[in-house]
Amino acid sequence: MTKVILIDDEPLARQIVKEYLAAFKEIEIVAECGDGFEAVKAIQQHNPSLIFLDIQMPKINGFETLELIEKKPAVIFTTAFDEYALKAFEQNAVDYLLKPFNQERFEKAVKKFINSNSTLEKGLRGIDNYSSNQQIEQLESVPKKHSEEAHRVVVKNGTSILILPTAQIIYIEAYDDYVKIFNNETFYLKKKTMSYYEEVLDPMQFIRVHRSFILNLNYLTKIEALDKNNNLALLKTGAKIPLSRSGYSKLKEILNL
Amino acid sequence: MTVDKLPTRMQLIAALISWFIIWWGLQCFVIFQIFNNINFAFIDASISLGLTLIGISIIYFVQKYSGSYINNYGTRFFFIIAIIAGIIFSERLILTGLYSGSDFETMFNTTITIRLVAAFLQITFFSAVLWFLYFVKVQNEKNSLKFDAETTLRQAELIKLRQQLQPHFLFNSLNSINALVVSEPQQARKMIQNLSDFLRGTLKKDENKNVPFSEEINLLKLYLEIEKVRFGHRLAVNFNISEDTLNLKLPPLLLQPIVENAVKFGLYNVLNQVEISVNAHVKNNLLAIVITNPFDESTAQSMKGEGFGLSLIQKRLHLIYHRTDLLVIEKNNSIFTTIILIPQA
């Protein structure tokens, strides 16, 4: 049996997926969720191999929900927003269904999942692109920056989920495959790259000052010279951040020094 | 530079006539002092005034029909000199025709300085006035053009906003209908009817024509009815409309984006049940419409689109009523309140 979870804040939208899925005897719906928080919990509990995911949902959107899941299942996005398609395929989505969709189109998406699942060894799924380039080219290109991500970061704190406005982020530090996002009290781990945040966050506020550090300019109090080639940024919280040579000159340029 | 209040045509004509009468009297007086002949003074002053008026008219018409050609310093200077020379020359021609004799010739030559000064003052003064008026007119035209452009831009923005919001609403509603067709065909039918009525109501509205409040309320009810089907038990709607507001008028589709915002904001910012309320009453000759939705302060600042639709409504109200105090926003106790005031004529 293939375990599936439906995530959509509109009950009727879940109902239609459920109805279409009835044609697949080998698929079992283990949970239905009306928002991202429920979804994160349900996915952890059931460990499904496929989820149907809406994008616009209460509090946290579909992409943010996905970020919070460690062992990612295959995803078929279902949404009325065609502008997120490119981003969806970047997240290795199996397919992207535009509401309203018919049964034929829906079954094509599910079969795509089943086929790719049987050809790949279990557990190796997710790395290969399910999507063909052709499909991406058909979609209008969209700006990579979605305003939600530019204004907030969704993080996990134990079992609870936190929405962190970017204004509260003091700095970000690279940490192996993760980054540590520091606020006033503590830090949160997130499985993202430094370059991702460099790109997504407001470049006038968040400066990549070092290979391993991005700092929020609003918290900068002082730049200290250690010696000729080494500088430190002193933050309001007392934290000290090393500046690389290029980071130092970038900082100087932005501060008009 | 703008001049909001130009004098009326009658005031302008009266001022001009008195100006010329005074000038004529002055010239009579001067000539009479020199020649001690009142008859001659009258005729002389009249002729020179007539010629001056012709000169001013020439400047006026040339400026009017030559466009900007005359409006550079060089051209204008030589033009004024030519007009003055023309006046003096014609004056001499007419006067010598009337009064022949060498006495008169010497007399004319002794007064030529006065005549030159008089013509110079008149012509340069009116040339300057006409030039000034020309610039005011050009400036006003530019401003009104700019204003028109801005209005058009706002309207385009409004249309764009409406188009941006509706497709998602439309597609999601169609998706709901798709589900209902099998499970609840009657409900599906009702939804199609509501959706059609709503779309018809929003499509045929003329932006510039006010509509009865009752019509707008019906449209809002249709919209919220559809949203209630989509979001099920999560969305509750509460109308509290006082009877005396129903026949009042307001610009069309002003409330629609506010309610749409309230629903979106409520549904995507809060996890539990969302209650939207729409209240309306009359106060101080204003139709006051109060729309509330729940919100969560801790995440509200990171929601996109907050105030986006509202600023456009603010602009639209400003364009129509020239007031900036007709849209009020309040946030307290996790309730977001939008108040719209519509002045009643």
pLDDT tens column, A193-240: 898 898 888 888 999 999 999 999 999 998 888 887 788 999 998 889
B302–A152 CB contact, under 8 Å: yes
- Residue in A with minimal Cα distance to B184: A12
Closest residue, chain B, to A100 (C-alpha): B175
pLDDT at B5: 64
Cα of first residue to Cα of last residue in chain B, in angstroms, is 32
Model ipTM value: 0.71
Token pair listed for B46: 């009249």
Q: Tell me the CATH number for domain A147-254.
A: 2.40.50.1020
Quote the minimal CA–CA distance from A125 to chain B in Å. Answer: 30
Alpha helix ranges (H) inside B236-293: 255-269
State the angle between helix axes of B255-269 and B213-231 in degrees (0 to 180), rounded to the nearest 10: 20
Which chain A residues are closer than 8 Å to B179 by Cβ?
Answer: 12-13, 15-16, 19
Find how far residue B332's CA is from the centre of its chain.
Answer: 37
What class does CATH assign to A2-138? alpha beta
Chain B residues whose CB is inside 8 A of the A165 CB are: 299, 301-302
Which residue in chain B is spatially nearest to A33 when comparing CA positions? B271
Contacts with B226 (C-beta within 8 Å, 6 or more apart), sequence order: B169, B173, B191, B194, B195, B198
Indicate the residue of B176, B182, B304 with minimum beta-carbon distance to A10: B176
Residues 6+ apart with CB under 8 A from A48: A3, A4, A5, A30, A31, A73
* Greatest pairwise CA separation for chain B in angstroms: 118
Which chain A residue shows the shortest CA-CA distance from B296? A59
CA distance B70 to chain A (A): 50
Of A11, A80, A166, the CB nearest to B172: A80
**A119–chain B nearest CA distance, Å:** 33
Instruction: Please give the radius of gyration of chain B, using alpha carbons only, rounded to the nearest integer.
Output: 36
* Residues of each domain in chain B carrying CATH 3.30.565.10: 184-343
Q: What is the pLDDT of residue A140?
A: 38
**Which residue of chain A has the CA closest to B299?**
A163
Which residues in chain A have their CB less than 8 angstroms from residue B168's CB?
56, 80-81
> What is the distance between the alpha carbons of residues B37 and A39, in angstroms, rounded to a whole number?
111
From the candidates B169, B172, B303, which should be mutated to test the interface with A, based on the most A CB atoms within 10 A?
A: B172
B301 interface with A at CB cutoff 8 Å: yes
Nearest to B179 among A9, A15, A163 (CB): A15
- Helices and strands of chain A, counted as H and E runs: 9, 15
B272 touches chain A (CB under 8 A): no
Positive or negative, the CA dihedral B140, B142, B146, B148 is positive
Cβ contact (<8 Å) for A12 and B182? Answer: no
Whole-Å CA distances, A232 to A182, A223, A224, A226, A251: 17, 6, 5, 7, 11
pLDDT of residue A200: 87
Which is it for strands A171-175 and A160-165: parallel, antiparallel or unpaired? Answer: unpaired
Enter the DSSP assignment of A168.
G
Angle B9-35/B102-183 helices, nearest 10 degrees? 170
Q: Is B93 an 8 Å CB contact of chain A?
A: no
| Closest B-chain CA to A149 | B302
Which of B167, B168, B271 shows the shortest C-beta gap to A35? B271
Residue of A nearest to B274 (CA): A58
Contact assessment for residue B132 and residue B141, using Cβ atoms and an 8 Å cutoff: no
Q: How far is it, in rounded angstroms, from Cα A171 to Cα A179?
A: 10
Q: Minimal CA–CA distance to B225: which of B159, B270, B182, B176?
A: B176
Kindly tell me if the per-residue pLDDT of A156 is higher than 90.
no
Q: Which amino acid is at B272?
A: N
**Mean pLDDT in chain A?**
85
Nearest-neighbour CA in chain A from B238: distance (Å)? 21
B233, B269, B302, B308: best mutation site toward chain A, by most A Cβ within 10 Å? Answer: B302
Q: What is the mean pLDDT of each run of 10 residues along chain B (345 residues)?
A: 65 87 87 81 86 87 72 79 88 79 73 84 85 83 78 68 71 94 94 93 79 94 94 93 94 87 87 92 94 81 56 81 89 90 90
Topology (CATH) of B184-343 = Heat Shock Protein 90 (3.30.565)
The amino acid that residue A142 corresponds to is V
Q: Give residue B135's pLDDT.
A: 81
d(CA A254, CA B220): 49
Q: What phi and psi, each to the nearest 5 degrees, are found at residue A51?
A: -125, 145
Shortest CB distance from B179 goes to which of A9, A16, A148?
A: A16
pLDDT of residue B33: 84
Nearest CA in chain B to A20: B179
Residue A80 has its nearest CB partner, among B171, B229, B302, at B171
**Contact status of B247 with chain A (Cβ, < 8 Å):** no
Alpha-carbon gap, residue B3 to B6, rounded angstroms? 7
Domain boundaries, chain A: 2-138, 147-254
| Per-residue exposure over B298-307, b if at least 16 CB sit within 10 Å of its own CB, e if not | ebbebbeebe
Min mean pLDDT across A89-98, A131-140, A245-254, B228-237 is at A131-140
